[in-house]
Structure 1
Amino acid sequence: MCTALVQNQIFGRTMDLPALSSPWKLTYLPPHYQFTRYLDRTKYASQYGILGGMRVTDGEYLIGDGINTAGLVMAELYYKCRKFYAPTPITGKINLAPQDLIEWCLSHYGSVAELAAALPQLTLVASPWFDTHAYVHEFHWLVADQTGTYLIEPTSQELTLRQLAIPVITNAPSYDHHQQRLINTVDLDVDLTDLKLSSLKNIQLPASIQTSRTPSARWMRTAVAMAQSRPITEILKQVQMEHLPGHDDYTHYWSTIDLGTQTYTYHDVDQHRTKIVPLPKLHYPNPHVFHFKPLN
Protein backbone atom coordinates (compact mmCIF):
# COMPACT_ATOMS: atom_id res chain seq x y z
CA MET A 1 0.00 0.00 0.00
CA CYS A 2 2.57 2.56 -1.17
CA THR A 3 2.71 5.51 -3.56
CA ALA A 4 5.67 6.48 -5.77
CA LEU A 5 6.20 9.25 -8.30
CA VAL A 6 8.82 11.29 -10.12
CA GLN A 7 8.37 15.05 -10.45
CA ASN A 8 10.92 17.38 -12.04
CA GLN A 9 13.76 14.87 -11.66
CA ILE A 10 12.82 14.18 -8.03
CA PHE A 11 11.70 10.69 -7.04
CA GLY A 12 9.38 10.38 -4.07
CA ARG A 13 7.60 7.53 -2.30
CA THR A 14 5.73 6.54 0.81
CA MET A 15 6.61 3.19 2.38
CA ASP A 16 3.40 1.79 3.75
CA LEU A 17 4.25 -1.91 4.00
CA PRO A 18 4.77 -3.25 7.53
CA ALA A 19 8.35 -4.06 8.51
CA LEU A 20 8.20 -7.73 9.37
CA SER A 21 11.43 -8.73 11.07
CA SER A 22 13.21 -5.38 11.38
CA PRO A 23 12.41 -1.69 10.86
CA TRP A 24 13.02 0.27 7.68
CA LYS A 25 16.22 2.35 7.85
CA LEU A 26 18.15 4.58 5.49
CA THR A 27 21.08 2.36 4.53
CA TYR A 28 24.18 2.51 2.34
CA LEU A 29 25.70 -0.56 0.69
CA PRO A 30 29.19 -0.04 -0.80
CA PRO A 31 30.40 -1.20 -4.20
CA HIS A 32 31.37 -4.88 -4.15
CA TYR A 33 28.82 -5.65 -1.43
CA GLN A 34 27.91 -9.34 -1.71
CA PHE A 35 24.21 -9.97 -2.35
CA THR A 36 22.66 -13.45 -2.19
CA ARG A 37 20.12 -14.68 -4.74
CA TYR A 38 17.42 -16.53 -2.84
CA LEU A 39 16.71 -19.32 -5.33
CA ASP A 40 20.19 -20.84 -5.57
CA ARG A 41 21.96 -18.94 -2.76
CA THR A 42 24.65 -17.77 -5.19
CA LYS A 43 26.59 -14.64 -4.25
CA TYR A 44 27.21 -11.69 -6.55
CA ALA A 45 29.03 -8.40 -6.02
CA SER A 46 27.39 -5.05 -6.64
CA GLN A 47 29.12 -2.88 -9.21
CA TYR A 48 27.76 0.26 -7.56
CA GLY A 49 27.21 1.82 -4.18
CA ILE A 50 23.51 1.89 -3.27
CA LEU A 51 21.65 4.24 -0.91
CA GLY A 52 18.05 3.57 0.01
CA GLY A 53 15.30 2.55 2.37
CA MET A 54 16.14 -0.98 3.52
CA ARG A 55 15.64 -3.50 6.26
CA VAL A 56 17.59 -6.58 7.31
CA THR A 57 16.02 -10.02 7.42
CA ASP A 58 17.91 -13.28 8.00
CA GLY A 59 21.11 -11.28 7.56
CA GLU A 60 20.10 -10.03 4.07
CA TYR A 61 19.30 -6.47 3.03
CA LEU A 62 15.87 -6.00 1.48
CA ILE A 63 15.72 -2.80 -0.60
CA GLY A 64 12.40 -0.96 -0.73
CA ASP A 65 13.79 1.84 -2.90
CA GLY A 66 17.18 3.28 -3.71
CA ILE A 67 19.61 4.98 -6.04
CA ASN A 68 22.96 3.64 -7.19
CA THR A 69 26.11 5.65 -7.83
CA ALA A 70 25.46 5.61 -11.59
CA GLY A 71 22.15 7.43 -11.02
CA LEU A 72 19.63 4.63 -11.52
CA VAL A 73 16.61 4.77 -9.18
CA MET A 74 14.28 1.86 -8.49
CA ALA A 75 11.43 1.20 -6.07
CA GLU A 76 9.30 -1.87 -5.44
CA LEU A 77 5.63 -1.52 -4.54
CA TYR A 78 3.11 -4.18 -3.63
CA TYR A 79 1.05 -5.35 -6.62
CA LYS A 80 -1.58 -7.91 -5.72
CA CYS A 81 -2.96 -8.03 -9.21
CA ARG A 82 -2.76 -9.86 -12.52
CA LYS A 83 0.85 -10.98 -12.68
CA PHE A 84 3.03 -13.76 -14.03
CA TYR A 85 5.75 -15.59 -12.15
CA ALA A 86 7.35 -18.71 -13.60
CA PRO A 87 6.40 -21.74 -11.46
CA THR A 88 9.99 -23.06 -11.52
CA PRO A 89 13.40 -21.72 -12.63
CA ILE A 90 13.91 -21.54 -16.39
CA THR A 91 17.09 -22.90 -17.94
CA GLY A 92 19.21 -20.23 -19.63
CA LYS A 93 17.64 -17.35 -17.70
CA ILE A 94 18.73 -15.38 -14.65
CA ASN A 95 16.09 -16.62 -12.21
CA LEU A 96 15.12 -14.22 -9.44
CA ALA A 97 12.68 -14.21 -6.56
CA PRO A 98 10.50 -11.07 -6.70
CA GLN A 99 12.49 -9.35 -3.92
CA ASP A 100 15.75 -10.13 -5.73
CA LEU A 101 14.88 -7.97 -8.74
CA ILE A 102 15.52 -4.52 -7.27
CA GLU A 103 18.82 -5.65 -5.75
CA TRP A 104 19.96 -7.29 -8.98
CA CYS A 105 19.10 -4.23 -11.09
CA LEU A 106 20.61 -1.57 -8.81
CA SER A 107 23.79 -3.61 -8.42
CA HIS A 108 24.26 -4.42 -12.13
CA TYR A 109 22.87 -1.59 -14.29
CA GLY A 110 23.87 2.05 -14.50
CA SER A 111 20.94 3.33 -16.56
CA VAL A 112 17.45 2.53 -17.72
CA ALA A 113 18.87 1.68 -21.15
CA GLU A 114 21.19 -0.94 -19.66
CA LEU A 115 18.37 -2.42 -17.60
CA ALA A 116 16.04 -2.55 -20.63
CA ALA A 117 18.66 -4.40 -22.66
CA ALA A 118 19.11 -6.97 -19.89
CA LEU A 119 15.43 -7.56 -19.04
CA PRO A 120 14.93 -10.39 -21.58
CA GLN A 121 17.54 -12.41 -19.65
CA LEU A 122 15.64 -12.10 -16.36
CA THR A 123 12.80 -14.27 -15.11
CA LEU A 124 10.76 -13.86 -11.94
CA VAL A 125 10.03 -17.16 -10.23
CA ALA A 126 7.16 -17.83 -7.81
CA SER A 127 9.41 -18.08 -4.80
CA PRO A 128 9.45 -16.75 -1.25
CA TRP A 129 12.42 -14.79 0.06
CA PHE A 130 14.53 -14.69 3.21
CA ASP A 131 11.81 -12.94 5.23
CA THR A 132 9.33 -15.80 4.77
CA HIS A 133 9.55 -19.42 3.80
CA ALA A 134 5.96 -19.80 2.71
CA TYR A 135 4.55 -16.67 1.09
CA VAL A 136 5.35 -15.41 -2.42
CA HIS A 137 5.27 -11.62 -2.41
CA GLU A 138 3.81 -9.73 -5.35
CA PHE A 139 5.43 -6.55 -6.63
CA HIS A 140 5.77 -4.16 -9.51
CA TRP A 141 8.59 -1.65 -9.90
CA LEU A 142 9.14 2.00 -10.72
CA VAL A 143 12.44 2.67 -12.52
CA ALA A 144 13.89 6.10 -13.27
CA ASP A 145 16.95 7.96 -14.41
CA GLN A 146 17.34 11.34 -16.06
CA THR A 147 15.77 10.00 -19.28
CA GLY A 148 12.36 9.44 -17.70
CA THR A 149 10.19 7.26 -15.49
CA TYR A 150 9.30 3.67 -16.31
CA LEU A 151 7.23 0.79 -14.98
CA ILE A 152 7.84 -2.95 -14.81
CA GLU A 153 4.54 -4.80 -14.43
CA PRO A 154 5.22 -8.57 -14.43
CA THR A 155 2.18 -9.57 -16.49
CA SER A 156 4.03 -12.05 -18.73
CA GLN A 157 7.18 -14.14 -18.60
CA GLU A 158 8.95 -11.54 -20.74
CA LEU A 159 9.65 -8.52 -18.54
CA THR A 160 9.38 -5.14 -20.26
CA LEU A 161 9.78 -1.46 -19.41
CA ARG A 162 7.00 1.01 -20.08
CA GLN A 163 7.66 4.74 -20.04
CA LEU A 164 4.99 6.61 -18.09
CA ALA A 165 3.34 9.80 -19.32
CA ILE A 166 1.95 10.22 -15.79
CA PRO A 167 4.87 9.07 -13.60
CA VAL A 168 2.88 7.68 -10.66
CA ILE A 169 2.35 4.14 -9.40
CA THR A 170 0.51 2.81 -6.38
CA ASN A 171 -0.79 -0.76 -6.08
CA ALA A 172 -3.43 -2.90 -7.78
CA PRO A 173 -5.17 -2.57 -10.16
CA SER A 174 -2.94 -2.13 -13.21
CA TYR A 175 -1.61 1.23 -14.37
CA ASP A 176 -4.11 1.38 -17.25
CA HIS A 177 -6.97 0.66 -14.86
CA HIS A 178 -5.88 3.55 -12.64
CA GLN A 179 -5.92 5.87 -15.64
CA GLN A 180 -9.31 4.65 -16.83
CA ARG A 181 -10.82 5.03 -13.36
CA LEU A 182 -9.64 8.63 -13.26
CA ILE A 183 -11.17 9.32 -16.68
CA ASN A 184 -14.45 7.77 -15.57
CA THR A 185 -14.47 9.47 -12.16
CA VAL A 186 -14.18 13.01 -13.49
CA ASP A 187 -15.84 12.32 -16.87
CA LEU A 188 -12.74 13.46 -18.71
CA ASP A 189 -13.12 13.72 -22.49
CA VAL A 190 -9.83 12.09 -23.47
CA ASP A 191 -8.74 8.68 -24.72
CA LEU A 192 -6.60 6.51 -22.47
CA THR A 193 -3.64 6.73 -24.87
CA ASP A 194 -3.80 10.55 -24.83
CA LEU A 195 -4.00 11.02 -21.06
CA LYS A 196 -1.18 13.26 -19.81
CA LEU A 197 -0.49 15.41 -16.78
CA SER A 198 -1.54 18.48 -18.74
CA SER A 199 -5.00 16.88 -19.10
CA LEU A 200 -5.48 17.01 -15.32
CA LYS A 201 -4.47 20.55 -14.41
CA ASN A 202 -7.98 21.94 -13.95
CA ILE A 203 -9.99 18.95 -12.76
CA GLN A 204 -11.57 18.63 -9.32
CA LEU A 205 -11.72 15.23 -7.63
CA PRO A 206 -14.79 14.20 -5.61
CA ALA A 207 -14.54 14.50 -1.83
CA SER A 208 -14.69 10.70 -1.48
CA ILE A 209 -11.48 10.38 -3.52
CA GLN A 210 -9.75 13.05 -1.44
CA THR A 211 -10.09 10.98 1.75
CA SER A 212 -9.97 7.38 0.52
CA ARG A 213 -6.99 5.11 1.29
CA THR A 214 -7.51 2.89 -1.76
CA PRO A 215 -4.70 2.61 -4.34
CA SER A 216 -6.82 4.15 -7.11
CA ALA A 217 -7.76 7.14 -4.95
CA ARG A 218 -4.13 7.70 -4.00
CA TRP A 219 -3.13 7.42 -7.67
CA MET A 220 -5.72 10.02 -8.68
CA ARG A 221 -4.79 12.46 -5.92
CA THR A 222 -1.10 12.17 -6.74
CA ALA A 223 -1.57 12.59 -10.50
CA VAL A 224 -3.79 15.67 -10.09
CA ALA A 225 -1.44 17.22 -7.51
CA MET A 226 1.49 16.74 -9.89
CA ALA A 227 -0.48 18.34 -12.72
CA GLN A 228 -1.08 21.32 -10.44
CA SER A 229 2.67 21.55 -9.69
CA ARG A 230 2.34 21.07 -5.95
CA PRO A 231 5.63 20.48 -4.06
CA ILE A 232 6.60 16.83 -3.90
CA THR A 233 6.71 16.74 -0.09
CA GLU A 234 3.16 18.11 0.01
CA ILE A 235 2.06 15.41 -2.43
CA LEU A 236 3.63 12.68 -0.32
CA LYS A 237 2.03 13.98 2.86
CA GLN A 238 -1.43 13.97 1.26
CA VAL A 239 -1.16 10.24 0.54
CA GLN A 240 0.55 9.38 3.83
CA MET A 241 -1.46 6.64 5.55
CA GLU A 242 -2.22 7.00 9.25
CA HIS A 243 -1.72 4.08 11.62
CA LEU A 244 -5.35 3.14 12.20
CA PRO A 245 -6.46 0.48 14.71
CA GLY A 246 -6.70 -2.91 13.04
CA HIS A 247 -4.63 -1.86 10.00
CA ASP A 248 -1.13 -3.24 9.39
CA ASP A 249 -0.51 -0.91 6.45
CA TYR A 250 0.53 2.61 7.34
CA THR A 251 3.32 4.98 6.31
CA HIS A 252 6.60 4.11 8.03
CA TYR A 253 8.68 6.60 6.05
CA TRP A 254 8.52 8.80 3.02
CA SER A 255 11.54 9.69 0.95
CA THR A 256 12.74 11.77 -1.97
CA ILE A 257 15.75 11.31 -4.22
CA ASP A 258 17.19 14.13 -6.32
CA LEU A 259 18.29 12.37 -9.53
CA GLY A 260 20.68 15.19 -10.37
CA THR A 261 22.60 15.47 -7.10
CA GLN A 262 21.88 11.88 -5.95
CA THR A 263 20.73 13.24 -2.59
CA TYR A 264 18.38 11.07 -0.53
CA THR A 265 15.96 12.65 1.95
CA TYR A 266 14.51 10.18 4.44
CA HIS A 267 11.65 11.12 6.77
CA ASP A 268 10.79 8.75 9.61
CA VAL A 269 7.08 9.26 10.19
CA ASP A 270 6.97 7.75 13.70
CA GLN A 271 9.88 9.87 14.94
CA HIS A 272 8.92 12.97 12.92
CA ARG A 273 12.56 13.36 11.95
CA THR A 274 14.34 13.82 8.63
CA LYS A 275 17.82 12.90 7.44
CA ILE A 276 19.41 14.18 4.21
CA VAL A 277 22.31 12.18 2.75
CA PRO A 278 24.21 12.87 -0.53
CA LEU A 279 25.28 9.56 -2.08
CA PRO A 280 28.41 10.95 -3.85
CA LYS A 281 29.95 11.83 -0.48
CA LEU A 282 29.65 8.32 0.97
CA HIS A 283 32.73 6.13 1.11
CA TYR A 284 32.00 3.62 3.86
CA PRO A 285 33.83 0.34 3.20
CA ASN A 286 31.02 -1.70 4.78
CA PRO A 287 27.21 -1.41 4.97
CA HIS A 288 26.20 1.63 6.96
CA VAL A 289 22.84 2.31 8.60
CA PHE A 290 22.00 5.96 9.28
CA HIS A 291 20.54 6.50 12.74
CA PHE A 292 19.05 9.64 14.21
CA LYS A 293 20.94 11.18 17.12
CA PRO A 294 19.13 10.89 20.45
CA LEU A 295 16.92 13.85 21.28
CA ASN A 296 18.07 15.91 24.27
Structure 2
Amino acid sequence: MCTVMTTSELWGRTMDFPPRTPWHLTYLPAGFQWQPAIGHRVITSRYRILGGMRHFAGHYLIGDGVNAAGLLCAELFFPVAAHYASQPKPGTLGLTPQDFITWVLGNHDSVAEVAAELDRVTVVGAPWHDGNHYPFHWLLQDQTGTYLIEPLGEYLRVRNNPVGVLTNTPEFDEQVDRLNSRLGLTGRQFVPAVVAAYHGSWPSGGNAVDRFQQATFQRWQSTPRTVGEIQRFLMQVTVPHTPRHRNNYTHYRAVFDWGANKYYFTDCHRGLTTVKGLADLTGPRPLTFD
Protein backbone atom coordinates (compact mmCIF):
# COMPACT_ATOMS: atom_id res chain seq x y z
CA MET A 1 0.00 0.00 0.00
CA CYS A 2 2.05 2.93 -1.30
CA THR A 3 1.33 6.31 -2.88
CA VAL A 4 3.56 8.24 -5.31
CA MET A 5 3.11 11.77 -6.65
CA THR A 6 5.32 13.57 -9.17
CA THR A 7 5.57 17.10 -10.50
CA SER A 8 8.18 18.68 -12.73
CA GLU A 9 9.99 19.88 -9.58
CA LEU A 10 9.30 17.15 -7.03
CA TRP A 11 8.76 13.45 -6.46
CA GLY A 12 7.32 11.98 -3.28
CA ARG A 13 6.16 8.63 -1.95
CA THR A 14 5.03 6.69 1.07
CA MET A 15 6.54 3.24 1.58
CA ASP A 16 3.96 1.00 3.21
CA PHE A 17 5.44 -2.31 2.18
CA PRO A 18 6.06 -4.63 5.16
CA PRO A 19 9.79 -5.41 5.38
CA ARG A 20 11.57 -8.38 6.85
CA THR A 21 14.50 -6.04 7.45
CA PRO A 22 14.30 -2.26 8.04
CA TRP A 23 14.38 0.42 5.35
CA HIS A 24 17.24 2.93 5.39
CA LEU A 25 18.44 5.77 3.21
CA THR A 26 21.32 4.12 1.37
CA TYR A 27 24.01 5.03 -1.16
CA LEU A 28 25.42 2.57 -3.69
CA PRO A 29 28.57 3.63 -5.60
CA ALA A 30 29.33 3.34 -9.29
CA GLY A 31 31.05 0.04 -9.89
CA PHE A 32 28.89 -1.66 -7.26
CA GLN A 33 28.60 -5.36 -8.02
CA TRP A 34 25.35 -7.19 -7.37
CA GLN A 35 23.84 -10.55 -8.22
CA PRO A 36 20.21 -11.13 -9.21
CA ALA A 37 18.43 -13.75 -7.15
CA ILE A 38 18.16 -16.12 -10.13
CA GLY A 39 21.07 -17.19 -12.28
CA HIS A 40 24.75 -16.73 -11.51
CA ARG A 41 25.62 -13.52 -13.33
CA VAL A 42 27.22 -10.67 -11.38
CA ILE A 43 26.32 -7.19 -12.66
CA THR A 44 28.41 -4.05 -12.22
CA SER A 45 26.46 -0.79 -11.90
CA ARG A 46 27.52 2.19 -14.01
CA TYR A 47 25.82 4.84 -11.87
CA ARG A 48 25.75 5.91 -8.25
CA ILE A 49 22.32 5.41 -6.60
CA LEU A 50 20.70 7.07 -3.58
CA GLY A 51 17.38 5.88 -2.16
CA GLY A 52 15.34 3.87 0.31
CA MET A 53 16.72 0.34 0.58
CA ARG A 54 16.71 -2.86 2.61
CA HIS A 55 19.87 -4.89 3.26
CA PHE A 56 19.74 -8.68 3.54
CA ALA A 57 22.69 -11.07 3.62
CA GLY A 58 24.89 -8.81 1.51
CA HIS A 59 22.15 -7.87 -0.97
CA TYR A 60 20.32 -4.55 -1.36
CA LEU A 61 16.64 -4.33 -2.24
CA ILE A 62 15.81 -0.87 -3.58
CA GLY A 63 12.35 0.50 -2.84
CA ASP A 64 13.06 3.67 -4.77
CA GLY A 65 16.04 5.74 -5.79
CA VAL A 66 17.62 8.26 -8.09
CA ASN A 67 20.88 7.71 -9.95
CA ALA A 68 23.70 10.08 -10.87
CA ALA A 69 22.38 10.44 -14.43
CA GLY A 70 19.07 11.86 -13.18
CA LEU A 71 16.87 8.78 -13.58
CA LEU A 72 14.41 7.99 -10.79
CA CYS A 73 12.56 4.71 -10.26
CA ALA A 74 10.17 3.48 -7.55
CA GLU A 75 8.59 0.07 -7.08
CA LEU A 76 5.06 -0.28 -5.71
CA PHE A 77 3.14 -3.36 -4.60
CA PHE A 78 0.97 -4.71 -7.45
CA PRO A 79 -0.80 -7.88 -6.28
CA VAL A 80 -3.27 -9.95 -8.34
CA ALA A 81 -2.79 -7.91 -11.53
CA ALA A 82 0.93 -8.65 -11.98
CA HIS A 83 1.86 -11.29 -14.54
CA TYR A 84 5.44 -12.56 -14.78
CA ALA A 85 7.18 -15.18 -16.86
CA SER A 86 7.89 -18.56 -15.32
CA GLN A 87 11.46 -18.62 -16.65
CA PRO A 88 13.80 -16.28 -18.54
CA LYS A 89 13.38 -16.04 -22.30
CA PRO A 90 16.39 -17.41 -24.22
CA GLY A 91 19.16 -14.87 -24.49
CA THR A 92 17.78 -12.56 -21.79
CA LEU A 93 18.83 -11.70 -18.25
CA GLY A 94 16.46 -13.18 -15.67
CA LEU A 95 15.43 -10.83 -12.88
CA THR A 96 13.05 -11.16 -9.97
CA PRO A 97 10.61 -8.24 -9.48
CA GLN A 98 12.84 -7.02 -6.62
CA ASP A 99 15.95 -7.02 -8.81
CA PHE A 100 14.41 -5.12 -11.72
CA ILE A 101 14.77 -1.67 -10.12
CA THR A 102 18.48 -2.27 -9.44
CA TRP A 103 18.97 -3.12 -13.12
CA VAL A 104 17.09 0.06 -14.12
CA LEU A 105 18.95 2.48 -11.87
CA GLY A 106 22.36 0.89 -11.98
CA ASN A 107 22.80 0.84 -15.74
CA HIS A 108 20.55 3.40 -17.46
CA ASP A 109 20.77 7.15 -17.89
CA SER A 110 17.18 7.81 -19.00
CA VAL A 111 13.72 6.32 -19.41
CA ALA A 112 14.39 6.07 -23.15
CA GLU A 113 17.42 3.87 -22.53
CA VAL A 114 15.39 1.62 -20.23
CA ALA A 115 12.68 1.29 -22.90
CA ALA A 116 15.26 0.42 -25.55
CA GLU A 117 16.68 -2.42 -23.43
CA LEU A 118 13.56 -3.99 -21.95
CA ASP A 119 13.69 -6.86 -24.43
CA ARG A 120 17.07 -7.86 -22.96
CA VAL A 121 15.56 -8.90 -19.62
CA THR A 122 12.81 -11.20 -18.39
CA VAL A 123 11.14 -10.52 -15.05
CA VAL A 124 10.40 -13.90 -13.51
CA GLY A 125 7.94 -14.61 -10.72
CA ALA A 126 10.57 -16.05 -8.40
CA PRO A 127 11.63 -15.30 -4.81
CA TRP A 128 14.33 -12.76 -3.99
CA HIS A 129 17.37 -13.58 -1.83
CA ASP A 130 15.27 -13.45 1.35
CA GLY A 131 13.02 -16.22 0.07
CA ASN A 132 10.04 -13.93 -0.55
CA HIS A 133 8.32 -13.13 -3.85
CA TYR A 134 6.34 -9.92 -4.11
CA PRO A 135 4.69 -8.47 -7.24
CA PHE A 136 5.59 -4.92 -8.23
CA HIS A 137 4.98 -2.34 -10.90
CA TRP A 138 7.30 0.62 -11.39
CA LEU A 139 7.16 4.39 -11.78
CA LEU A 140 10.01 6.11 -13.62
CA GLN A 141 10.85 9.78 -13.98
CA ASP A 142 13.54 11.82 -15.72
CA GLN A 143 13.73 15.28 -17.27
CA THR A 144 11.30 14.23 -20.03
CA GLY A 145 8.42 13.33 -17.70
CA THR A 146 6.79 10.54 -15.69
CA TYR A 147 6.30 6.97 -16.91
CA LEU A 148 5.31 3.53 -15.67
CA ILE A 149 5.97 -0.13 -16.37
CA GLU A 150 3.29 -2.67 -15.50
CA PRO A 151 3.83 -6.45 -15.84
CA LEU A 152 0.51 -7.26 -17.50
CA GLY A 153 1.55 -9.51 -20.36
CA GLU A 154 4.42 -11.43 -21.81
CA TYR A 155 6.50 -8.33 -22.54
CA LEU A 156 7.27 -5.22 -20.49
CA ARG A 157 6.83 -1.78 -22.00
CA VAL A 158 7.31 1.79 -20.86
CA ARG A 159 4.19 3.96 -20.90
CA ASN A 160 3.66 7.64 -20.31
CA ASN A 161 1.99 8.46 -17.00
CA PRO A 162 0.18 11.78 -17.63
CA VAL A 163 -1.42 11.77 -14.17
CA GLY A 164 1.87 11.90 -12.29
CA VAL A 165 0.41 9.56 -9.65
CA LEU A 166 0.67 5.85 -8.91
CA THR A 167 -0.60 3.59 -6.12
CA ASN A 168 -1.26 -0.17 -6.22
CA THR A 169 -3.67 -2.58 -7.92
CA PRO A 170 -5.76 -2.13 -10.09
CA GLU A 171 -3.77 -1.41 -13.22
CA PHE A 172 -3.25 2.18 -14.37
CA ASP A 173 -5.92 2.19 -17.12
CA GLU A 174 -8.57 1.01 -14.70
CA GLN A 175 -7.50 3.64 -12.17
CA VAL A 176 -8.05 6.35 -14.79
CA ASP A 177 -11.37 4.75 -15.78
CA ARG A 178 -12.60 4.89 -12.17
CA LEU A 179 -11.38 8.46 -11.83
CA ASN A 180 -13.30 9.43 -14.96
CA SER A 181 -16.45 7.78 -13.61
CA ARG A 182 -16.25 10.09 -10.58
CA LEU A 183 -15.76 13.05 -12.93
CA GLY A 184 -18.67 12.09 -15.17
CA LEU A 185 -16.41 11.24 -18.10
CA THR A 186 -16.28 8.13 -20.26
CA GLY A 187 -13.23 6.37 -21.61
CA ARG A 188 -9.71 6.12 -20.25
CA GLN A 189 -8.18 9.38 -21.41
CA PHE A 190 -6.87 11.54 -18.60
CA VAL A 191 -8.22 15.12 -18.82
CA PRO A 192 -6.30 17.35 -16.37
CA ALA A 193 -8.53 20.40 -16.97
CA VAL A 194 -11.57 18.47 -15.77
CA VAL A 195 -9.70 17.25 -12.70
CA ALA A 196 -8.56 20.78 -11.88
CA ALA A 197 -12.12 22.12 -12.18
CA TYR A 198 -13.78 19.34 -10.16
CA HIS A 199 -15.57 20.64 -7.04
CA GLY A 200 -17.13 17.40 -5.80
CA SER A 201 -16.07 15.43 -2.76
CA TRP A 202 -12.78 13.56 -2.64
CA PRO A 203 -12.73 9.89 -1.59
CA SER A 204 -11.77 9.47 2.05
CA GLY A 205 -10.81 5.78 2.18
CA GLY A 206 -7.37 4.28 2.23
CA ASN A 207 -7.55 1.68 -0.53
CA ALA A 208 -5.48 2.01 -3.70
CA VAL A 209 -8.30 3.55 -5.78
CA ASP A 210 -9.12 6.14 -3.13
CA ARG A 211 -5.47 7.10 -2.66
CA PHE A 212 -4.96 7.34 -6.43
CA GLN A 213 -7.84 9.82 -6.68
CA GLN A 214 -6.79 11.77 -3.58
CA ALA A 215 -3.29 12.17 -4.97
CA THR A 216 -4.61 13.10 -8.43
CA PHE A 217 -6.89 15.85 -7.12
CA GLN A 218 -4.09 17.20 -4.93
CA ARG A 219 -1.63 17.08 -7.84
CA TRP A 220 -3.87 18.97 -10.29
CA GLN A 221 -5.88 21.25 -8.02
CA SER A 222 -3.19 22.42 -5.62
CA THR A 223 0.12 21.23 -7.04
CA PRO A 224 2.85 21.02 -4.38
CA ARG A 225 5.63 23.46 -5.20
CA THR A 226 7.91 22.96 -2.21
CA VAL A 227 9.31 20.04 -0.27
CA GLY A 228 7.19 21.05 2.71
CA GLU A 229 4.00 21.06 0.66
CA ILE A 230 4.50 17.59 -0.78
CA GLN A 231 5.53 16.28 2.64
CA ARG A 232 2.26 17.58 4.09
CA PHE A 233 0.31 15.68 1.44
CA LEU A 234 2.27 12.49 2.09
CA MET A 235 1.39 12.76 5.77
CA GLN A 236 -2.29 12.69 4.78
CA VAL A 237 -1.87 9.27 3.14
CA THR A 238 0.50 7.90 5.79
CA VAL A 239 -0.77 4.73 7.46
CA PRO A 240 0.05 4.83 11.19
CA HIS A 241 1.61 1.88 13.00
CA THR A 242 -1.24 0.82 15.27
CA PRO A 243 -2.72 -2.49 16.48
CA ARG A 244 -5.05 -2.27 13.47
CA HIS A 245 -2.06 -1.83 11.12
CA ARG A 246 0.51 -4.23 12.53
CA ASN A 247 2.14 -5.04 9.18
CA ASN A 248 0.81 -2.71 6.49
CA TYR A 249 1.78 0.72 7.69
CA THR A 250 4.04 3.51 6.44
CA HIS A 251 7.68 2.76 7.19
CA TYR A 252 9.13 5.83 5.48
CA ARG A 253 8.23 8.86 3.41
CA ALA A 254 10.58 10.09 0.70
CA VAL A 255 10.79 13.30 -1.32
CA PHE A 256 13.23 14.14 -4.09
CA ASP A 257 13.75 17.78 -5.03
CA TRP A 258 14.92 17.86 -8.64
CA GLY A 259 16.12 21.46 -8.53
CA ALA A 260 18.24 21.05 -5.40
CA ASN A 261 19.14 17.42 -6.25
CA LYS A 262 18.34 16.42 -2.67
CA TYR A 263 16.65 13.29 -1.33
CA TYR A 264 14.63 13.62 1.91
CA PHE A 265 14.11 10.34 3.83
CA THR A 266 11.72 10.38 6.80
CA ASP A 267 11.86 7.33 9.06
CA CYS A 268 8.30 7.08 10.36
CA HIS A 269 9.35 4.88 13.29
CA ARG A 270 11.58 7.60 14.71
CA GLY A 271 10.10 10.68 13.08
CA LEU A 272 13.53 11.71 11.81
CA THR A 273 14.31 13.14 8.36
CA THR A 274 17.70 12.66 6.71
CA VAL A 275 18.68 14.79 3.70
CA LYS A 276 21.39 13.78 1.24
CA GLY A 277 22.43 14.60 -2.31
CA LEU A 278 24.35 12.45 -4.77
CA ALA A 279 26.65 15.36 -5.53
CA ASP A 280 28.07 14.95 -2.02
CA LEU A 281 28.43 11.16 -2.21
CA THR A 282 31.34 9.87 -4.27
CA GLY A 283 32.85 7.20 -2.05
CA PRO A 284 33.69 3.70 -3.31
CA ARG A 285 31.59 1.77 -0.77
CA PRO A 286 27.88 1.52 0.07
CA LEU A 287 26.74 3.81 2.86
CA THR A 288 23.68 3.50 5.09
CA PHE A 289 22.40 6.59 6.89
CA ASP A 290 20.59 6.01 10.20
Relative to the length of structure 1, the TM-score reads: 0.92
- Following the alignment from structure 1 to structure 2, what is the Cα–Cα distance between the partners of residues 32 and 228? 43
Q: Which amino acid aligns with 1:15?
A: M
- Following the alignment from structure 1 to structure 2, what is the Cα–Cα distance between the partners of residues 77 and 43? 25
Structure 2 unmatched runs, 5+: 225-229
Deviation at 1:205, TM superposition (A): 5.1
2:234 aligned with 1:236: yes
Deviation at 1:59, TM superposition (A): 1.7
Q: Secondary structure at the match of 1:201?
A: helix
Give a deviation string over 1:127-158, Cα, whole Å, max 9, x none.
Answer: 100122xx421000001101000000011121
Deviation at 1:230, TM superposition (A): 4.0
Q: Secondary structure at the match of 2:243?
A: coil
Deviation at 1:181, TM superposition (A): 1.4
Deviation at 1:78, TM superposition (A): 0.4
Give a deviation string over 1:170-222, Cα, whole Å, max 9, x none.
Answer: 000111111111222x34235422x2333211324546x22x11000000000
- Following the alignment from structure 1 to structure 2, what is the Cα–Cα distance between the partners of residues 120 and 261? 34
Q: Which residue of 2 aligns with 1:215?
A: 208
2:12 aligned with 1:12: yes
Structure 1 unmatched runs, 5+: 292-296
Give yes or no for contact 1:170–1:215 (8 Å, CA) kept in 2. yes
Q: Secondary structure at the match of 1:276?
A: strand
Are the structure 2 counterparts of residues 191 and 88 from structure 1 closer, same or farther at C-alpha, using a change threshold of 3 Å?
Answer: closer
Q: Which residue of 2 aligns with 1:188?
A: 184
Relative to the length of structure 2, the TM-score reads: 0.93
Deviation at 1:263, TM superposition (A): 1.2
* Comparing 218-227 and 83-92, the one that deviates more: 83-92
Q: Secondary structure at the match of 1:11?
A: strand
2:47 aligned with 1:51: no
- Following the alignment from structure 2 to structure 1, what is the Cα–Cα distance between the partners of residues 17 and 115? 27
Q: Secondary structure at the match of 1:99?
A: helix
Q: Which amino acid aligns with 1:236?
A: L
2:169 aligned with 1:176: no
- Following the alignment from structure 2 to structure 1, what is the Cα–Cα distance between the partners of residues 268 and 236? 13
Q: Percent identity between the aligned chains?
A: 39
Q: What pairs with 1:102-141 in structure 2 (closer than 5 Å)?
A: 102-132=101-131, 135-141=132-138
Q: Secondary structure at the match of 1:104?
A: helix
* Comparing 93-102 and 251-260, the one that deviates more: 251-260
Runs ≥4 in structure 1, deviation > 3 angstroms?
A: 204-207
Give yes or no for contact 2:177–2:186 (8 Å, CA) kept in 1. no
2:155 aligned with 1:162: no
Give a deviation string over 1:11-56, Cα, whole Å, max 9, x none.
Answer: 1110001121x21000001110111111113211110100000010
2:139 aligned with 1:142: yes
Number of aligned positions between the proteins: 284
- Following the alignment from structure 1 to structure 2, what is the Cα–Cα distance between the partners of residues 196 and 41? 46
CA RMSD of superposed structures (Å): 1.5
Q: What pairs with 1:47-126 in structure 2 (closer than 5 Å)?
A: 47-126=46-125
Deviation at 1:272, TM superposition (A): 1.4
- Following the alignment from structure 1 to structure 2, what is the Cα–Cα distance between the partners of residues 79 and 242? 21
